[in-house]
Structure 1
Amino acid sequence: MLAQGSIVNACAIIGGALLGMIIKGRLSERFGVIIKQALGLSTVIIGLSGTLSSIFKVSYDGKLESNYIMTMIIFLVIGSVIGEAINIEEKLNRLAEFIQKKIPGSGSNFSAGFVSATLLFCVGAMAIVGSLEEGLTGNANTLYAKSILDCISSIIFSATMGIGVLFSSVAVFLYQGSITLLAEFIEPMLTAEVINQMSLVGNVLILGIGINLLEIRSIKVANMLPAIIIPIVYYLIRIWIG
């Protein structure tokens, strides 16, 4: 079945979100706050560890070497400018508000839950690599493993941020399913270097999501999403220049 991994992933998010909604009704506000803070800290650590592991490598002589720092900055800046011009964040929020109006009693946190969960579930390396792996080899094991992690995360997210998390499953299915279906066509562009750079940018965005969850500062992570595909464009330009 095409995009079976993405289907399982979306169902796992729905199941986790529904369970989280049951828990939400039994949580007092102060417990919801501390759980959200714990989730924010965990997200920061995941993003930070992924970023550092992508940048720093130990060479054969035991020295610590850094990679992709300048290109990461360039990708993030260019991607952010494109995303800001399109205003992806506003469009996502408008979509969330539209859905919220159709669901009575969905709560004021609907938009925050939808956007935060959608970004977290989509920008990680497992979403990209797993979808490509299924499209190229038919092996969806990476997405199955991601489904378990996303299910757990969706329980916690929906327990603190409401039913908006459930609707992120649609975005995850469309995003990952599209990559799976297009994998055969974009395979020649996806060298190990390109995938590493895409994963690096994704981890930086995960770090931004964690900062948002902790309410340290409001970062327009959604407007930075185009940065994830800039490494592919950069690779094509290098090939064209020769």
Structure 2
Amino acid sequence: MIGTLINAGAVIFGSLLGNLLGARIPERVRTTVVSGFGLFTLGYGIQMFIKTQNALVVVGAILIGSLLGEWWQIDQHLANLGVWLEGKFNNGGNNTSSKRFIKGFLTASLVFCVGPMAILGSIQDGLTGDSSVLVVKAILDGFAAMAFASTLGLGVIFSAPLLLVYQGSISLLAVQMQSLVSNAMITEMSAAGGLILVGLTIGSLLELRPIRSANFLPALVIAPLLVLLLGAFGLY
């Protein structure tokens, strides 16, 4: 859990610094920085996906996960949470600032929570107490939070509590399920996460077309379950 606390603290510090410096950074520079991070995230997501050992598992996880996500309206619920937070902590903002606040919260939450370092680092922290992976992730997330906050504002900082709950829950589950988690399950979970990052980049960071990326999040649970199911029949 120490690694997760460090990670959340880095996000908070980076967000505060980004908000402090945001007004001093020209809009074109901020836009370019976020676009650059978007390109990196796109490439990183593709790299995650190509490590899959069975693309059909990832496709199945994405399809089933998207159906569940749309059914549960995860993206809308996260947006509503963003609206509530914006109302509590950004009173008096106009419609444009509200959208910016919500976008900052959603984008940062997905970027910081989806990825192999969040999953593997939390599992490693829970199983062995080694938080080195999460410390490295904290450094990366701190710089990313600074870049996001300089453009997207205060909403970014509220991704830290979600990150704390998400990674902390994985660490606690790892302790309870250490005998059930295999390398294959982690690989396909990360591959599905890579595609979610690609969708996030297209929909939010590069703004090429709207994609409700949060509705794909159930795929992160479906992927290891499919590995477990196929493995039981000797198909993986």
TM-score (norm 2): 0.91
Please state how far the C-alpha of 1:31 moved relative to its aligned partner: 2.7
Pick the aligned partner of 2:150 from 159, 181, 187: 159
1:147-196, Cα deviation, whole Å (9 max, x unpaired): 00100110101011111111100000000001111112222221111110
Paired residues for 1:178-193 under 5 Å:
178-193=169-184
Partner of 1:231: 223
Q: Does 1:87 align with 2:73?
A: yes
How far does residue 105 in structure 1 lie from its aligned partner after superposition?
5.5
Aligned equivalent of 1:143 = 134
Structure 2: gaps (5+ residues): none
Shift, 1:134, TM fit? 0.8
- Give 3-state SS (helix, strand or coil) of 1:17's partner: helix
1:208 counterpart letter in structure 2: G
**Alpha-carbon distance between aligned partners in 2 of 1:10 and 1:127, rounded to the nearest angstrom:** 12
Contact residue 189 and residue 235 of structure 1 kept, 8 A? no
- Residue 42 of structure 1 contacts residue 210 of structure 1 at CA under 8 Å; is this kept in 2? no
Q: Which residue of 2 aligns with 1:29?
A: 27
TM-score (norm 1): 0.89
Match for 2:36: what amino acid?
Answer: A
- The count of corresponding residues between Structure 1 and Structure 2 is 228
Residue 176 and residue 206 in structure 1: after superposition, are their counterparts in 2 closer, same or farther (change >3 A)?
same
* Aligned-pair CA distance for 1:239: 6.2
2-structure distance, mates of 1:199, 1:236? 15
Distance 1:97-1:221 versus aligned 2 partners, 3 A rule: same
For residue 208 of structure 1, what is the aligned residue in structure 2? 199
Indicate which of 2, 7, 14 corresponds to 1:16: 14
The SS at the match of 1:47 is helix
Moved more, 100-109 or 148-157: 100-109
Give the CA deviation at 1:236.
4.1
Q: In the TM superposition, what whole-angstrom CA distance separates every residue of 1:83-106 from its partner, at most 9, and x where no partner exists?
A: 110000000000000000111366
CA apart distance, 1:203: 1.1
Instruction: Return 5+ residue gaps in structure 1 as ranges.
Output: 56-66
2:213: which partner in 1?
221
| 8 Å Cα contact 2:45-2:196 kept in structure 1 | yes
CA-based RMSD of the aligned residues comes to 1.6
2:124 paired with 1:133: yes
- 2: CA distance between counterparts of 1:125 and 1:105? 38
Aligned to 2:114: 123
Mapping for residues 92-111 of structure 1, pairs under 5 Å:
92-103=78-89, 104=91, 107-108=97-98, 109-111=100-102
Question: Which AA in structure 1 matches 2:55?
Answer: I
